[in-house]
Amino acid sequence: MINQRSCVVLGGGGFIGLNLCRRLVDSGYRVRVFDRHCLFPEELSGAEWYQGDFLDAAGLEAAIGPSDIVFHLVHTTIPQSANIDMVGDVEKNLIPSLSLLEVCRKVRAARIVFVSSGGTVYGCPQDIPTPETAPTNPITAYGISKLAIEKYLALYEHLHGVEFRVLRVANPYGPFQIAHKNQGIVAAILSRALSNRRMEIWGDGSIIRDFVFIEDLTEALVAAALDRSDQRIFNIGSSRGLSVRDVIAAIEHQLDLKLDIDWEPGRTVDVPVSIMSVDRARTYLGWEPKTQFETGLQKTIAWWRSRRPDA
Amino acid sequence: MINQRSCVVLGGGGFIGLNLCRRLVDSGYRVRVFDRHCLFPEELSGAEWYQGDFLDAAGLEAAIGPSDIVFHLVHTTIPQSANIDMVGDVEKNLIPSLSLLEVCRKVRAARIVFVSSGGTVYGCPQDIPTPETAPTNPITAYGISKLAIEKYLALYEHLHGVEFRVLRVANPYGPFQIAHKNQGIVAAILSRALSNRRMEIWGDGSIIRDFVFIEDLTEALVAAALDRSDQRIFNIGSSRGLSVRDVIAAIEHQLDLKLDIDWEPGRTVDVPVSIMSVDRARTYLGWEPKTQFETGLQKTIAWWRSRRPDA
């Protein structure tokens, strides 16, 4: 699909952003990347790099133009850190998102596609798999600020006609996810396993998560950018629950080794089970999760090995 | 009911706060009032006055003690002003509410009772009367920050055991409500009518609201402070919808005059219909709205006349 669409990927230097930029460049989009830094700058060829901080509204305004699709992937905190400094989480994520909305209104951007958090906005859900209509009672400040940003997006569409789509994403994994700031259990385990390091896991390994492969997620992001339905919020996951012990077993199986794990006490930020219902995305985006966990894991391990010739 | 309970009323100098303080003092509570200023200081006898700004966490900490019931009635914006300065709304209401939560955790306050907004947190509701379980899609920044504060209250109970109750209050009216900052259509109309001034009304008068008399609301606040149920969020209203035209007609009838009205274009912040279902409060708080609108209006007019010998 080649067209003249132009987009800005805020947070394009990180795991999801990098994969998305590559997907967009490959499809002929004009892509601008806005971030403080990039994990793998050599992978961003074909995209225009805008170095900047999300807190700097003028920098945002320089990067975003009329009719742009703006992918908003920035979140400077993780569930654990947001609970420790809730005011900081608001100041660094919620308030700059309001500035971003104002920039998008002013320059007449075409649409904002926001990556929200399927694993935290619902809190401890009663319905599993969880649909988008489930109650939203986060048990982390991270989930609250994601949810509040969703509400402001809807408000800006109501007040000013700034279009938006929200993807409530499950646990993404895949190439270019590194064990950075403790995000991503697959990356965390692989990084330790491939360097023969001992690792800590919180809880008894029974918590269940929904792992979505990055290629499926980038397809969902592109579908959300082009969507013409009247829906606004979509869960994106695999619809399949795997316990942390399942993930460990799958990795041990594929690497043919035994991991050395310190089991630590569970954390208050972890909900016991999180599995997304993705029926709405199937129906309205024509999207579905195509990659089995075992296949995605194989590709991810191949990527880790390609960058670590010693492993 | 006389007991030794002690409470702090944040925002106790305003309409709801003043009525609540009087009710609490009458019942033998030890009452501290925290606010920037008080509309009718002579009405606060029996309560201890703490002058302070909600943005000043140290001031809050000086006012709040262990085992206190903390009534949080502060909101420095209204729906119209919050939409104009959303960042300011977050900085002046949401962030200081986080500081308040931290103070309550630190001093081991017994409970926070938060006055939220039944008229804005639901947005344009599909179910009328609207139950607490309805989707929350505010069309004002005011509604979003109220909703976010609700979520942080729940988070603090989850993380730190700070108890809370939320009252999503409909449109309160009654004595001590003055036509301040355009809050309160009953007060706005009465103030103009009793001084023979022309008034502006936005929209065609067809929007429907749920008017709850202040005495009913103060009973609900006390019930929420004492509640031992497992419920946390309660709608408080009359369950009866009145259009703005109905309110005008009732006031014209009771005052035996014809109001001089400028009808202005409708505002984007006004949802067409807002009526609360109060079944949950009936069941769990043993509370119900007792005052018919006509009776409440009579008492309100009597109060306006008592302070305006010229009217």
The one-character DSSP state at A200 is E
- The candidate with the shortest Cα–Cα distance to A290, out of A177, A213, A218, A176, is A213
CB < 8 Å from B in window 251-310 of A: 268
Q: Do B144 and A137 touch (CB under 8 A)?
A: no
First-to-last alpha carbon distance for chain A, in angstroms, is 37
What is the token pair recorded at B60?
Answer: 């809050």
Q: Which residue has the tokens 């060829």?
A: A45
| Cα radius of gyration rounded to whole Å, chain A | 19
Distance from the B57 Cα atom to the nearest Cα atom in chain A, whole angstroms: 13
Return the SS3 of B173. Answer: strand
How large is the average pLDDT for residues A53-68?
Answer: 95
Q: pLDDT tens string for chain B (311 positions)? A: 444 699 999 999 999 999 999 999 999 999 999 999 998 999 999 999 999 999 999 999 999 999 999 999 998 888 888 999 999 999 999 999 999 999 999 999 999 999 999 999 999 999 999 999 999 999 999 999 999 999 999 999 999 999 999 999 999 999 999 976 667 899 999 998 988 888 888 888 999 999 999 999 999 999 999 999 999 999 999 999 999 999 999 999 999 999 999 998 887 778 899 999 999 999 999 999 999 999 999 999 999 999 865 44
Q: Do A152 and B144 touch (CB under 8 A)?
A: yes
Q: In chain B, where are the structural domains located?
A: 6-176+211-238+275-289
Q: Is the pLDDT of residue A310 over 70?
A: no
Long-range contacts of B25-31 (CB under 8 A, 24+ apart): B27/B1, B27/B2, B27/B222, B28/B1, B28/B2, B28/B3, B29/B3, B29/B5, B30/B4, B30/B5, B30/B6, B31/B6, B31/B7
Q: Are A153 and A100 in contact (CB under 8 A)?
A: no
In this prediction the ipTM stands at 0.94
Give per-residue burial for A257-270: e unless 16+ CB within 10 Å, then b.
Answer: eebebeeeeeeebb
Which pLDDT value is given to residue A307? 83
Rounded Cα gap, residues B12 and A292, in angstroms: 58
Distance from the B139 Cα atom to the nearest Cα atom in chain A, whole angstroms: 5
Percent of chain A with pLDDT over 70: 96
Q: Which of B99, B141, B159 is closest, CB to CB, to A155?
A: B141
What is the token pair recorded at B44?
Answer: 């606060």
Give per-residue burial for A50-73: e unless 16+ CB within 10 Å, then b.
Answer: bebebbebebbbebbbeebbbbbb
Residues 6+ apart with CB under 8 A from B81: B89, B181
Residues 6+ apart with CB under 8 A from B111: B69, B70, B162, B163, B164, B165, B225
Residues 6+ apart with CB under 8 A from A84: none
First-to-last alpha carbon distance for chain B, in angstroms, is 37
- Report CA B94 to chain centroid distance, whole Å: 16
Q: Is the pLDDT of residue A80 over 90?
A: no
Rounded Cα gap, residues A270 and A224, in angstroms: 28
Dihedral angle, C-alpha B170, B174, B179, B182, nearest 10 ° = 0
Chain A positions in Cβ-Cβ contact with residue B141 (cut-off 8 Å): 152, 155
Which pLDDT value is given to residue A62? 96
Per-residue pLDDT of B9-54, as tens digits, reads 999 999 999 999 999 999 999 999 999 999 899 999 999 999 999 9
Which pLDDT value is given to residue A20? 98
Domain B6-176+211-238+275-289 has CATH 3.30.70.20: no
Rounded Cα gap, residues A183 and A36, in angstroms: 18
Rounded Cα gap, residues A217 and A115, in angstroms: 10
Q: Is the pLDDT of residue A204 over 60?
A: yes
Chain B positions in Cβ-Cβ contact with residue A148 (cut-off 8 Å): 144, 147-148, 151
Q: Are B175 and B20 in contact (CB under 8 A)?
A: no
Q: Are A234 and A167 in contact (CB under 8 A)?
A: yes
Decide the pairing of beta strands A208-209 and B6-10. Answer: unpaired
Which pLDDT value is given to residue B163? 98
A98 in B contact zone (CB under 8 Å): yes
Q: Are A51 and A35 in contact (CB under 8 A)?
A: yes
Q: Is the pLDDT of residue A3 over 50?
A: no
Distance from the A114 Cα atom to the nearest Cα atom in chain B, whole angstroms: 17
Chain B positions in Cβ-Cβ contact with residue A140 (cut-off 8 Å): 155
Decide the pairing of beta strands A171-173 and A199-202. Answer: unpaired
Domain A6-174+212-238+276-290 has CATH 3.40.50.720: yes
C-beta atoms surrounding B151 within 10 Å: 23
CB < 8 Å from A in window 68-87 of B: 83, 86-87
Per-residue pLDDT of A208-264, as tens digits, reads 999 999 999 999 999 999 999 999 999 999 999 999 999 999 999 999 999 999 998
- The candidate with the shortest Cα–Cα distance to B148, out of B117, B181, B183, is B117
Cα→Cα distances B36→A44, B47, B54, B162, Å: 54, 15, 8, 25
Q: Are A139 and B158 in contact (CB under 8 A)?
A: yes
Q: Do A98 and B86 touch (CB under 8 A)?
A: yes
Q: Which of A87, A95, A144 is closest, CB to CB, to B151?
A: A144
Residue type, B188: A
- The candidate with the shortest Cα–Cα distance to A115, out of A218, A257, A36, A205, is A218
Rounded Cα gap, residues B207 and B269, in angstroms: 12
- The candidate with the shortest Cα–Cα distance to A191, out of A20, A15, A13, A43, is A15
